[in-house]
């Protein structure tokens, strides 16, 4: 063995004096072995090599090799104790990786009996995979790449726990103009056989006050230490949620499709929220979206669709969808807020007591009395009004003592209006009146029912139904037909007489 050491020293002296190098590197360095697992220090030796000697350090001196593999036979104290083994290709197998093996291993490689030993050093680094296989932000939990959170400026924190070797963490802000550095503080502490790295930033929103796409990045070149070296979170500033006074009001019928557009910025981050009743000061998260680079999105409300990663779509609106919708958007450099106030309406036409709902109606009435109309299942709550149908006849009838009755059904209302009327002109035979819905909503302002009042004084009121406001005079048409027929017959008789 003294001869082996002498040869090694001669080779080192030769390399220093004449620049001689090994014909090729056959063992990569460093190599990474996971603590507590079986590991292998891999080398690519010639297929028919003669001897491989493995040492657990570079200061092996005159000691025996830890493992010897010569002419297909294994030996050495490391092999005999079971700590090590040798692969048939000459690579060293570590039965169970321990921290003490984090050192420089040396392998003496003899291709054939006629050649000299080739000595190769391999740096072994013992690794410990972190508890969570990616950097995780405290506000997101064990989630990477799909996190949305609301946070104050002072509490954004990202960690890697129990990893070995030490991991450097950084915060960056991802913007439409590229990644921007964010000032942060890194703390690394010992954690058993590994280390815990924690990075904290208090300046996440210095570029954009409402939203930031925050990336926590682990700097490492160790393969297999992480499943993902980055975690991404779309963070809304919890200290700045000011809603602008200017809103867009939308009225939509129940069961119709609703689409709310957020912004024209194609690169924007999008966060849709809805005000929570009854106070409407807190907001529930509906959806969020990041569209550029590796886009991701989340939808958290039933029946919600995020169209083109920008517009909020409800295929079929119902009453519970009514309320205030807020879209926060930004691209990392600039941001804004869009607000919609959505009113869901249920349309219903008034019905007049004594009239069929679908037909034109005439009612015989006195010159004074009561009129009643009602509307059922309407939303929102409305008022009813009796008036003359034609504006120029408004002074022909007087309405007084209105008595509204409102029933709240939860999602809709039943409204009834009873009024007294009086017609001053006792010579008036007919007057058209209507019961209409009074609402500032354009969809509801056309809801009305009209009828003709026929005034009589000698008989009690009766009701007549007709599909037309005026009935045709069939007797007159019959008389005209008979006269025409008689004239035709007389003409025929005169012609026959003259012909004789």
**pLDDT at site 499:** 64
Mean pLDDT of 221-239: 89
Tell me how far apart the alpha carbons of residues 328 and 333 are, in angstroms, rounded to a whole number. Answer: 14
Task: Give the pTM.
Answer: 0.71
Nearest CA to 288 out of 329, 340, 343 is that of 329
Domains defined for the chain, CATH in brackets:
2-127 (2.60.40.10), 136-237 (2.60.40.10), 248-345 (2.60.40.10), 351-465 (2.60.40.10)
Q: How far apart are CA 317 and CA 339, in angstroms?
A: 18
φ/ψ of 283, rounded to 5, equals -130, 140
Cβ-in-10-Å burial (0-12, 13-18, 19+) of 357 comes to: exposed
Note the pLDDT of residue 186: 95
Token output for 59: 């200061």
Checking if the pLDDT of 241 tops 70, the result is: no
- Asked if residue 1 has pLDDT above 60, the reply is no
Q: What share of the chain is helix, strand, coil (3-state, %, to 5)?
A: 10, 45, 45
Q: What is the pLDDT of residues 104-152, one digit of tens each?
A: 999 999 988 888 888 999 999 999 999 999 999 988 877 766 788 888 7
What are the residues facing 137 on neighbouring strands?
158
Mean pLDDT throughout 376-383? 94
- State how beta strands 185-191 and 178-181 pair: unpaired
Instruction: Please give the pLDDT value at position 324.
Output: 93
- The whole-angstrom separation of Cα 109 and Cα 118 is 5
pLDDT higher than 50, residue 18: no
Neighbours of 280 (CB within 10 A): 12
The span from the CA of 298 to the CA of 273, in Å, is 12
Q: Across the strands, what pairs with 16?
A: none
pLDDT digits (tens, 9 = 90+) for 385-440: 999 999 999 999 999 999 999 999 999 999 999 999 999 999 999 999 999 999 88
Average pLDDT over residues 476-493: 72
Give the model confidence (pLDDT) of 29-44 as tens digits: 999 999 999 999 999 9
Query: Are the C-beta atoms of 403 and 384 separated by less than 8 Å?
Result: no
């Amino acid at each position: 063995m003294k001869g082996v050491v002498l040869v090694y020293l001669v080779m080192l002296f030769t390399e220093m004096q004449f620049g001689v190098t090994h014909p090729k590197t056959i063992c990569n360095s460093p190599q990474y072995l996971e603590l507590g697992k079986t590991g292998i220090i891999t080398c690519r030796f010639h297929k028919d090599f003669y001897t491989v000697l493995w040492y657990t350090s570079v200061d092996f001196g005159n000691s025996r090799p830890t493992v010897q593999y010569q002419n297909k036979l294994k030996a050495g104290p490391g092999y005999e104790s079971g700590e090590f083994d040798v692969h048939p290709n000459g690579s060293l197998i570590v039965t169970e990786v321990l921290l003490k093996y984090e050192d420089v291993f040396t392998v003496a490689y003899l291709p054939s009996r006629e050649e000299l030993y080739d000595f190769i050093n391999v740096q072994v680094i013992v690794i410990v995979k972190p508890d969570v296989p990616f950097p995780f932000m405290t506000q997101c939990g064990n989630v990477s790449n799909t996190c949305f959170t609301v946070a104050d400026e002072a509490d954004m924190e990202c960690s890697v726990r129990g990893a070995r070797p030490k991991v450097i963490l950084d915060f960056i802000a991802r913007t439409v103009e590229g990644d921007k550095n964010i000032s942060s503080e890194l703390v690394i502490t010992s954690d058993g056989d590994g280390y815990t790295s924690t990075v904290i930033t208090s300046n996440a929103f210095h570029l954009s006050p409402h939203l930031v796409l925050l990336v926590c990045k682990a700097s490492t070149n160790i393969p297999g230490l992480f499943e993902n070296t980055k975690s991404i979170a779309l963070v809304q500033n919890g200290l700045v949620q000011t809603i602008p006074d200017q809103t867009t009001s939308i009225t939509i019928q129940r069961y119709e499709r609703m689409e709310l557009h957020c912004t024209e910025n194609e690169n924007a981050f999008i966060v849709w929220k809805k005000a929570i009743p009854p106070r409407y000061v807190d907001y529930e998260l509906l959806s969020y979206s990041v569209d550029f680079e590796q886009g991701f999105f989340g939808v958290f409300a039933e029946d919600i669709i995020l169209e083109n990663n920008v517009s909020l779509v409800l295929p079929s609106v119902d009453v519970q969808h009514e309320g205030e919708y807020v879209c926060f958007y930004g691209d990392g450099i600039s941001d804004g807020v869009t607000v919609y106030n959505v009113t869901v309406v249920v349309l219903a036409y008034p019905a007049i007591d004594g009239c069929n709902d679908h037909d034109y109606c005439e009612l015989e009435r006195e010159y004074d009395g009561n009129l009643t109309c009602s509307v059922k299942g309407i939303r929102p709550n409305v008022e009813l009004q009796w008036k003359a149908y034609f504006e120029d006849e408004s002074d022909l009838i007087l309405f007084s003592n209105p008595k509204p009755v409102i029933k709240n059904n939860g999602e809709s209302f039943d409204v009834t209006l009873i009024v007294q009327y009086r017609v001053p002109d006792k010579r008036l035979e007919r007057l058209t009146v209507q019961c209409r819905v009074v609402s500032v909503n354009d969809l509801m302002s056309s809801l009305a029912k009209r009828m003709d009042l026929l005034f009589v004084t000698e008989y009690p009121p009766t009701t007549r139904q007709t599909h037309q406001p005026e009935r045709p005079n069939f007797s007159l048409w019959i008389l005209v037909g008979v006269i025409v027929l008689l004239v035709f017959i007389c003409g025929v008789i005169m012609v026959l007489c003259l012909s004789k």
